[in-house]
Amino acid sequence: MPPRPAGRARRRQRLGGVAVHAAAYAVALLGAGPFLWSVITAVKLNRDLYDPAHNPLWFNAPPTADHLVYLWRHTAFATFAWNTLWIGAAVVAVTLLLATPTGYALARLRRPWAGHLGMAIFLCYLVPPSVLFLPLSRLVAAAGLQDSDWALVLVYPTLTVPVSVWLMMGFFGAIPAQVEEQALVDGCTRFAAFRRVALPLAVPGLAAVVVLSFVLCASEYLYAIAFISPTAGKVVSTGIPTELISGDLFYWQSLQGAVVLVAVPIAVVFNLLLKRFIAGFTAGAVTVG
């Protein structure tokens, strides 16, 4: 390849860098813009918020913490958040345990039924919960789990497992087969090949499954309404509307505050997770590949 003039290349690179920076920040703003505005709304006084002439993007009267205090003191926000958190974590664990091996088996173990089964599992996700919650409510009651958060731990994997199996199938399928075959030839058992070779390579996929499953749980609300009614057991997506939307009256500031207080910590944790996984993976890929 003929070497290009160094100056032009550098200039092009710099221009490209500026464009990439601009694009990245624009995308960030698109994602987080509504939340920034939520933050401002959350600390507005009523007389500031409920005046159509006021600038909705900035303060027209001093800010107030009253509505956040209300969220904290007069609603069980902390309880809801904790429930969402631990239920989500438990479901993620169950999902990983079920979906990772299944995804591997369907992608790698060359069973004749693998394709059909994979399709069948995926199809299971396609039935919407709008009606399914009725039969499930019987199951939950029969298991003695009505109004227990464990009901959600039992039921939520119906949302996460089918998609996660698929995701893992995709990730295991993308790992070059030779890598594992080499391990098998070297005398590894199939299980060892899965655990020592395929699994580490699929780590970004696992990260995606974790994020996906957790968010599916945190977003779900129909089952949460149907199965859990005590305040102490409610999750964010049912508890917050119950306490902050009284039909005719929305506690807009507290609601917006709750949105941000839920979104930011989850995003921070997932961000760390993604970074670790991606960094670890690129390092791993170089040595294994």
Partner 1 sequence: MALAAGCAHEDDDAFGAGVLAGGPAEQFTPPTAKLSGALRILAWSHFVPTYDRWFDGFAGRWADRVGVDVAVDHVDLGQITTRVAAEIYAGRGHDLIQAVAPLPQFEPAVLDLTDLVHEANRRWGSQLELCRRSSFNPATNRYFAYAPGWVPDPGNFRRSMWSKIGLPGGPSSWDELLHGGTEIRRATGVQLGLGMSQELDSNMVGRSLLWSFGSSIQDGEGRVTLDAPEAVDAVEFMTRLYRQAMTDEVFSWIPSSNNQGLVAGRLSYISNSISAWRTAQRSTPAVAADIEFVPALAGPAGAMAAHHLVHNWVIPKYATGAAAGQEFLLHYTANFAAATYSSMLYDLCAWPGRTPELTAWLRRDPFRADPPAKLALLVDAARWSADLGHPGTANAAIGEVAGSFIIPDMFARAARGEVSAAVAVADAAARVRSIYAKWQARGLVA
Partner 2 sequence: MGQHALAPRGRRVRDRDRALALLFVVPTVGYIAVLIVGPVVLAVAYAVSDVTVADPAFDWAGLANIEAVLADPVFWRSLLNTCVITVATTSLAVAGGNVVARLMLAPVHGRWLVRLCVLMPWVTPVTMSSVAWLWMLDSIYSPLDWAGRQFGLLGDGQSVNWLGRPSTAMASVVAVQAWRLTPLTAVIIMAGLVAIPRNIYEAARIDGAGRWLRTRFMTVPLTAPIVAVAALFCAVFTFGDMAVVRVLTNGGPTHATEVLATLAFRRGIDGGDVGQGAAVALFLLPVLLAATLTILGLVRRMVLR
Position 285 contacts partner 2 (CB under 8 A): yes
Annotate 28-59 with b (16+ C-beta within 10 A) or e (fewer). eeeebeeeeebebbbbbbeebbeeeeeeeeee
Find the binder of partner 1 among 238, 259, 260, 261 (CB under 8 A): 238
Q: Which residue has the tokens 């227990």?
A: 148
Find the binder of partner 1 among 12, 138, 196, 275 (CB under 8 A): 138
Position 227 contacts partner 2 (CB under 8 A): no
Find the binder of partner 2 among 68, 201, 213, 243 (CB under 8 A): 201
Distances from the Cα of 13 to the Cα of 1, 5, 26, 80, 288, angstroms: 18, 13, 20, 49, 31
Position 174 contacts partner 2 (CB under 8 A): yes
Count of CB atoms within 10 A of residue 6's CB? Answer: 8
Q: Which of residues 47-106 bind partner 2 (CB under 8 A)?
A: 49-50, 52, 55-57, 84, 98-99, 101-102, 104-106
Q: Which residue has the tokens 């993007």?
A: 57
Cα-flanking dihedrals φ and ψ of residue 250, to 5°? -100, 130
Position 13 contacts partner 2 (CB under 8 A): no
Find the binder of partner 1 among 189, 219, 229, 271 (CB under 8 A): 229
Q: Which of residues 108-127 bind partner 2 (CB under 8 A)?
A: 109-111, 114, 117, 119, 121-127
Count of CB atoms within 10 A of residue 27's CB? Answer: 10
Position 173 contacts partner 2 (CB under 8 A): yes
Position 70 contacts partner 1 (CB under 8 A): yes
Position 271 contacts partner 2 (CB under 8 A): yes
Which residues are CB-contacts of 251 (< 8 A; sequence separation ≥ 6)?
A: 67, 70, 244, 245
Chain contacts with partner 1 (rule: CB under 8 A): 45-47, 50-52, 58-59, 61-66, 70, 74, 133-134, 137-138, 140-141, 146-147, 222, 225-227, 229-231, 238, 241-243, 245-250
